[in-house]
Amino acid sequence: MPQPLSSKDASLFRQVVRHYENKQHKKGIKTAEQILKKNPNHGDTLAMKALIMSNMGQQEEAFALAKEALKNDMKSHICWHVYGLLYRAEKNYEEAIKAYRFALRIEPESQPIQRDLALLQMQMRDYQGYIQSRKTMLQARPGLRQNWTALAIAHHLSGDLEEAEKVLTTYEETLKIPPPISDMEHSEAVLYKNVVMAEAGKVDKALEHLEQVGYRISDVLAVMEMKADYLLRLDKKAEAEAAYTALLERNPDNSLYYDALVRAKGISSDDHKALKAEYDAWVEKYPRGDAPRRIPLEFLEGDDFKQAADAYLQRMLKKGVPSLFANLKSLYTNPVKRATVQELVESYIATAPQSDGSAEGADNTEFLSSSYYFLAQHYNYHLSRDLTKAMENVDKAIELAPKAVEYQLTKARIWKHYGNMEKAAEEMEKARKLDEKDRYINSKAAKYQLRNNDNDKGLDNMSKFTRNETVGGALGDLHEMQCTWYLTEDGEAYLRQKKLGLALKRFHAVYNIFDTWQEDQFDFHSFSLRKGMIRAYVDMVRWEDRLREHPFYTRVAVSAIKAYLILHDDPDMAHGPLPNGSGEDDSERKKALKKAKKEQQRLEKLEAEKREARKAASTKGVDGEVKKEDPDPLGTKLVQTQDPLKDAIKFLTPLLELNPKSVEAQCLGFEVYLRRGKHALALKCLSAAHAVDASNPTLHVQLLRFRKTLDTLPEPLAPQVAEVVNAEFETLLPKGQNLEEWNNSFASTHKDNVPHQQAGLTCRQLLKPDSKPQCEQDLASTLDSGDITIETAFAGLELLNEWGSSQAAKTAYAQKASGKWPEATVFRLE
Amino acid sequence: MVDILPLSSYPSYIDLLPSIQTCNITNLPENYFLKYYLYHALTWPQLSFVAVVRPKNGYSKHSTADGAGVGSVAEQYPKVVGYVLAKMEEEPTDGVAHGHITSLSVMRTHRRLGIAERLMRMSQRAMAESHRAKYVSLHVRVSNNAALRLYRDTLGFEVETVESKYYADGEDAYAMRMDLSSMWMDWAEIERKDRERAAKDEKDADEGEEVGELGKKDAEKDNEKMVRVKVGRGLGVGDLVEKNESQPAAQ
């Protein structure tokens, strides 16, 4: 029912709207209440009041009010619109879209409703809906350029490149004179059209267009890049050469330009002489650049390599460039080059005049300390590792330059590779103290504390650079500033300590940060149209679609899933760290569990007290808004989940979708789906992993486990599932296969590879439980391998836990490992 | 090898934003939400650059349309060792269009390679070319000698004033600036080309009339589009966009 107001109230209502627009919330509410006094059931006023309350953070009350408004006036577009806005504020976009559609049905001409609907369609990637909305908006206001651009974007993102180009051209044709050069919106729109053309594969047309319009486009570098790119793709070599030469003259620090230039010049990749000459010419032109000196080290061989490497090394060592080793290590996959570099730097030290107090010696100190530093990193690197030599060299470097942060930092890294994180953290702390104003080394020191499972010290370090007055202190600030690296490391440290609640707490925090980043794009759907920077906007939209492909997400998802798997397999872990489940004395375990529960209660009480103390103090944020305290700071609610596997799926789904080629992700997917009894999905993961790396050791064990699962199902799979699963699995591990033979063949094919040996042994003891003692012995024998790393050896120790081996077997293994790596702490069993 | 690449122009490396944010919070005490980085990347896409370690097998960029899963992670997300985040001053108090360096940092492990200098030069040039910035301004801690040497001695900045207690920890800042007008595009030349083209395209084109007025008109337009920004670290476009964002269909 339309609910007319008296003219006085109608004018008050307009005031409410104005107050809302100006964010004068209190005035808005007051005025609305004035109207409601006389018209208590006035839907539109109720709705406006609800909207203002929602903006003030009172979501629940706002929703109740908005529903009441709708009840009173189902035919009001304002009520529906507000209802949609409230849903949007809650990020329930589907319901918001429905509400907007109702509103639009009542008031088809409303621009604001149409616009709000369009924004959500974009956010939801409903491109067909978005195209419709943008068409309507264009018809309503064809004079606005951004309405044309928006429609073009809609077509472009929906995949209709021709239509996108057509829309842009249609608008351009309405321009009688070219807009001024300073009109960046125009400049960008023209360039955007060019990108659309190239993307449609019409590179020649795009080039022609760019040559016509490029001279008046303000993003000069982009025009140069695009032109060079097109020329090379069209094989117009002479022009491409000129284009890349021009780009290099702008920025000689971009190796991609050199790659392209060499192609344009048609220099064969075998013609090392010509290549070297080309790079030398650039060195002469820009003597300070790194790329033209560094790139030839990739292709040069033998004496040529030695000569070039010598010049390169000496120059950088003299300058004391700290990244020299990092810059060269990619050459190390070539053993000859690796040896040459080592030989060269060793020779510098052997022949260098020692610092004996003479002038020459003093000048040489930096060269010498840089050389020692280089060798320390060299011997610390996994392809050329000799930790004793690494330590010797770093100590010499430190002796020459005791204040050099990088040297001390390297010493800490050597300790890390020794498997002694305690010592590593200690040494990194020393590095931090050499330059307490530098956050980089502070971050490193904090990271090493976390690697040493010392969460408190880690945070303590971080707090030297955080805004500790933030709600939640330093940790609160790290959350607010979206410090994903710290939250991930902190969570992983808790995971290693089996403090699953806190681990999950951190992993979810990172998950939520990714949600925020996805949400962040929303405002740009309108903002970017006004700004007119369309290419960047379109790139952003596409990036957002694969946001969780980023390694930061992968890492946190993997860890979170591992935590949930532990929790599923041993629900008692919800109460805190417990000794390993199987094989332990039952009464011992009960005692441990009791203790853990007590500790958990103690921590919760402590946390509650802290919260009370903080409540007493002020909790107002900088902007005067009240920040909410976290009701579950220890992650107790997370860890007490009824269904850990279901929670794991939340992390797993984006992982599998965006990183399908990660074997680790697929193997984790298998673990989750197998436990959930989703055999088809578990198998899908196995197949995907198999396609990437058929002989992956984790996959090998999983194949056997899946076979055994299928052979011993408590009740048969549904016929359709069984048919598909059996047929598919037949290609991976045939039913008729003799499993022992299959496993033996795997083990002998990969006899030099320890992780594969470990997998083979795991399978053997699964197939023949009475072979376990022998398998345990064989596992210990893998420690004799020359190639085994500390990490792999530690994985072997964890394997014994998995097998349910006796304490004696574990001790024997650990002792042997300790003998091999006396500095390592991971094998010291308490 | 470290490459200096555009952040969000062509080709776009916008997917490195989380890595850039991490580089910032690892190195510097002044940190920002990712949205603030996005705001820079999408408002002035020409001005920000990123320094990355070239992956061993080169980069595998996403094809523009849909390239999920192309190449290895290392090739898609190379290690970020530095960045410059820059903008145009939105409401210049002196009324002169100029650029501003919001944040610049290079990992400690990658110093002495001239990365910061290159990042600065790329950004400065883009400010002049794309936005006709008269000058570029920045703030630097008075104790930061290395940065001061770069800005003053290498790049040619001059100290404008000392801003007392500019930083949260109470340290003063030098406000520095450098003129960029020598790098401006030659608009007269472009306008000449416009006229040539117009004469060629349409014989009856009426030329030479509008030219003088064009610049002015646009300055007005820019004023209309101007957006208010809070100073500080935790800002995002949420605070920036004009108020009509979620205005109801009333009236």
- Beta bridge partners, B229, equal none
Contacts of A345 (CB under 8 A, 6+ apart): A313, A317, A371, A374, A375, A378
- Token pair recorded at residue A669: 């997917």
- Out of B45, B54, B248, the one facing A78 most closely (by C-beta) is B248
Kindly state whether residue A13 falls inside one of the protein's structural domains: yes
pLDDT of residue A88: 93
Q: Tell me if A770 is assigned to some domain.
A: yes
Would you call A516 and B190 a contact, using CB atoms and an 8 Å cutoff?
Answer: no
Give the whole-angstrom CA distance, residue A611 versus residue A178: 63
Kindly state whether residues A37 and A164 are assigned to the same domain.
yes
Instruction: List the single residue in B1, B42, B69 with the smallest CB-CB distance to A255.
Output: B1
Q: Is A241 inside any structural domain?
A: no
A780 shares a domain with A645: no
Q: Does domain B2-58+76-183 correspond to CATH entry 3.40.630.30?
A: yes
Please count the structural domains in chain A.
Answer: 3
Share of chain B above pLDDT 70, in %: 75
**Mind giving me the DSSP string for A699-768?**
HHHHHHHHHHHHHT-SSPPPHHHHHHHHHHHHHHS-TTS-HHHHHHHHHHHTTT-HHHHHHHHHHHHHH-
Kindly report the backbone phi and psi dihedral angles of residue B159, in degrees, each rounded to the nearest multiple of 5, phi listed first: -75, 125
Identify whether A174 is part of a domain: yes
Res. B167: pLDDT tops 80: yes
Q: Which of B60, B145, B245 to mutate to test the interface with A (most CBs of A within 10 A)?
A: B245
Shortest CA gap A631–chain B (Å):
23
Could you tell me if A760 and A641 lie in one domain? no
Residue A783 DSSP code: G
Strand B135-141, strand B98-106: pairing:
parallel
Answer whether residue B51 shows pLDDT above 90: yes
In a domain, A461, yes or no: no
CB A71 within 8 A of CB A47: no
Domain that holds residue A770: 756-829
- Considering the domain architecture, whether residues A655 and A800 belong to the same structural domain is answered as no
* In contact, A124 and A93? CB cutoff 8 Å: yes
Which helix (H) or strand (E) segment holds residue A782: the answer is: none
Burial grade of A736 (CB within 10 A; 0-12, 13-18, 19 or more): exposed
CATH number of the domain where residue A62 is located: 1.25.40.10
The sheet carrying B135-141 orders its strands as B2-6, B49-53, B80-88, B98-106, B135-141, B173-179, B158-163
Return the residue in A186, A317, A481 with the most chain B beta carbons within 10 A, the one to mutate for interface testing.
A481
User: Does residue B11 have a cis bond before it (omega within 30 degrees)?
Assistant: yes
Size of interface A-B (CB pairs under 8 A): 282
Among A159, A294, A661, beta carbon nearest to B69:
A661
At A589 the pLDDT is: 82
For residues A29 and A151, membership in a common domain is answered with yes
- Give the per-residue pLDDT at A452: 97
A421: in domain: no
What is the distance in angstroms between the Cα of B241 and the nearest Cα belonging to chain A?
A: 7
Query: Which residues of chain A register pLDDT less than 70?
Result: 1-2, 353-363, 580-585, 615-628, 830
pLDDT recorded at residue A208: 97
Give whole-number Cα distances, A560 to A501, A507, A654, A705, in Å: 11, 6, 13, 23
More confident residue, B133 or A576: B133
Phi-psi category of A355—alpha, beta or left, where left has phi over 0 and alpha has psi -120 to 50? Answer: beta
Asked if residue A249 belongs to a domain, the reply is no
How close A105 comes to chain B (CA, Å)? Answer: 13
pLDDT confidence of residue B219: 39
| A648 and A523 within one domain | yes
How far, in whole angstroms, is CA A820 from its chain's centroid?
36
pLDDT reported for residue B204: 52
pLDDT exceeds cutoff 80 at B206: no
pLDDT of residue B79: 95
Reply yes or no on whether the pLDDT at B94 is more than 80.
Answer: yes
One DSSP character per residue, A64-100 reads HHHHHHHHH-TT-HHHHHHHHHHHHHTT-HHHHHHHH
Q: For residue A549, which residues of chain B lie inside 8 Å, CB to CB?
A: 15, 68, 76
As a residue count, chain B comes to 251
- pLDDT tens digits, one per residue of B229-245: 343 444 444 454 433 33
Q: What is the signed CA dihedral for B60, B63, B64, B68, rounded to 10 degrees?
A: -90
Q: Are A55 and A28 in contact (CB under 8 A)?
A: no
Q: Which chain B positions have a beta carbon within 8 Å of A199's beta carbon?
A: 64-65
In the predicted structure, residue B228 carries a pLDDT above the cut 50 = no
End-to-end CA distance of chain A: 77
> Residue B61 has what pLDDT?
66
Locate the chain A residue with the closest alpha carbon to B129: A218
Would you say residue A517 lies in a domain?
A: yes
> Given an 8 Å threshold on Cβ–Cβ distance, is A182 in contact with B214?
yes
Q: Which of A180, A213, A237 is the last residue of a domain?
A: A180
Residues sharing a CB contact under 8 Å with residue A223, sequence separation 6 or more, in sequence order: A191, A210, A214, A217
Angle at A186 between CA A183 and CA A192, to 5 degrees: 140
Q: How confident is the model at residue B73 (pLDDT cuts 50, 70, 90)?
A: confident
Contacts of B77 in chain A (CB under 8 A): 550-551
* pLDDT over threshold 50, residue B140: yes
Q: What is the pLDDT of residue B217?
A: 40
The per-residue pLDDT for A177 is 83
Q: Give the mutation candidate from B242, B247, B251 for the A interface (greatest A CB count, under 10 A).
A: B247
Q: What is the C-alpha separation between A452 and A496, in angstroms, rounded? A: 10
